[in-house]
């Protein structure tokens, strides 16, 4: 009999707003791992996801970097979606014309290693983000930032109007050859613009995980809060939007929780399932 599968978004869904995971959530989630397929789908890097998921059972490949990377917890790469260097450089040049430079997340040499590149020209929002990553060993400053050979994603952070202008310019140049995510950055209080391979999304990531782990989408439940989770909602039999989710996301979910991420919404749903059996 095929197992049930559960895949959750991290930020504002599984993680509390202070980036913690409660003992209650850990206990409920881990109790499912012996009889279910359990994983995550996030915009975060492997490195950050691994840090957050300490003590949490993950027994299927993780969907990382918005779907640009699918990898197991033991660093086996299942799938990748890259932006070529020459295109990354063009994107960086367009931002440079507007006086803004991105973070570049790329695949380094050897075992799964994500390089986090940043310019020596930073705005206050970027400085705030970098302060949170200060202890990581994959940060690399660049005087003249360029793309690498294997770029997962390019991320700009700044004021909404500026990023809307840049988004419009990149769409004018590249059309639908790439995916663009323009949204508020809840932790820092600005906007971000992420540019990715056109198939780097959570829906394509779930298909890769499904093929690798052999689970049936009819037995999949997903959890999320934002519009980059909608592709998962469309694929899964069951989708739960947490109470703090965007209103438009709630309308597309098959269920809406009465609980928020800070109230352990994912674990409370799983606990209720246990009692229903």
- Both 45 and 97 in a single domain? no
- Both 92 and 24 in a single domain? no
Are 39 and 7 a contacting pair, CB within 8 Å?
yes
Of 77-81, 128-132, 151-155, which range is least confident? 128-132
Pairing of strands 151-158, 103-107: antiparallel
- Both 139 and 178 in a single domain? yes
- Of 46, 73, 51, 69, give the one whose Cα is nearest residue 60: 73
For 11-29, what is each residue's pLDDT tens digit?
999 999 999 999 999 999 9
Q: What is the biggest distance separating any 2 CA atoms in the chain, rounded to whole angstroms?
A: 59
Tell me which range, 99-113, 148-162, 185-199, 203-217, is most confidently predicted by mean pLDDT. Answer: 148-162
For 32-51, what is each residue's pLDDT tens digit?
999 999 999 999 999 999 99
- Both 95 and 172 in a single domain? yes
Q: What is the rounded CA–CA span in Å between residue 38 and residue 5?
A: 6
For the chain, how many structural domains are there in total?
2
Read off φ and ψ for residue 230, nearest 5 degrees: -65, -35
For 175-204, what is each residue's pLDDT tens digit?
999 999 998 887 888 999 999 999 999 999
| pLDDT the model gives residue 135 | 79
| pLDDT the model gives residue 43 | 93
Are 7 and 206 a contacting pair, CB within 8 Å?
yes
Read off φ and ψ for residue 43, nearest 5 degrees: -80, -10
Q: Domain residues for 100?
A: 85-197
Among 197, 213, 242, residue at a domain's last position: 197
Mean pLDDT over each residue of the chain, to the nearest integer: 94
Look up the CATH number of the domain holding residue 64. Answer: 3.40.50.1000
- Both 61 and 192 in a single domain? no
List, in order, residues 6 or more apart from 30 with CB less than 8 Å away: 55, 56, 57
Of 189-193, 253-257, 265-269, which range is least confident? 189-193
Does residue 2 have a pLDDT over 80? no
Residues of the chain with pLDDT > 70, as a percent, come to: 98
């Amino acid at each position: 009999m095929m197992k049930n599968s559960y895949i959750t978004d991290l930020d504002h869904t599984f993680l509390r707003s202070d980036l913690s995971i409660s003992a209650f959530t850990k206990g409920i989630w881990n109790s499912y791992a012996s009889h279910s397929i359990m994983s995550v789908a996030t915009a975060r890097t492997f490195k950050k996801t691994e840090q957050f998921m300490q003590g949490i059972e993950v027994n299927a490949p993780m969907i990382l970097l918005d779907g640009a990377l699918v990898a197991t917890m033991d660093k086996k790469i299942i799938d990748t979606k890259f932006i070529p260097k020459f295109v990354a450089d063009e994107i960086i040049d367009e931002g440079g014309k507007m006086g803004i430079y991105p973070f570049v997340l790329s695949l380094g040499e050897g075992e799964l290693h994500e390089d986090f590149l940043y310019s020596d020209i930073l705005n206050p929002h970027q400085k705030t983000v970098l302060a949170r990553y200060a202890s990581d060993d994959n940060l690399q400053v660049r005087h003249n930032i360029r793309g690498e050979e294997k770029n997962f994603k390019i991320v700009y952070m700044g004021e909404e109007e500026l990023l809307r202008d840049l988004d419009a310019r990149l769409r004018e140049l590249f059309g639908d050859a790439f995916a663009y995510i323009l949204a508020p950055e809840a932790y820092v209080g600005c906007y971000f613009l992420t540019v990715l391979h056109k198939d780097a999304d959570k829906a394509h990531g779930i298909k890769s995980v499904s093929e690798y782990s052999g689970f049936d989408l009819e037995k999949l439940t997903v959890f999320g809060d934002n519009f980059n989770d909608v592709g998962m909602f469309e694929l899964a039999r069951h989708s739960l939007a947490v109470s703090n989710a965007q209103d438009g996301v709630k309308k597309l979910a098959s269920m809406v929780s009465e609980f928020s991420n800070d109230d352990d919404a994912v674990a409370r749903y799983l606990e209720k399932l246990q009692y229903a059996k």
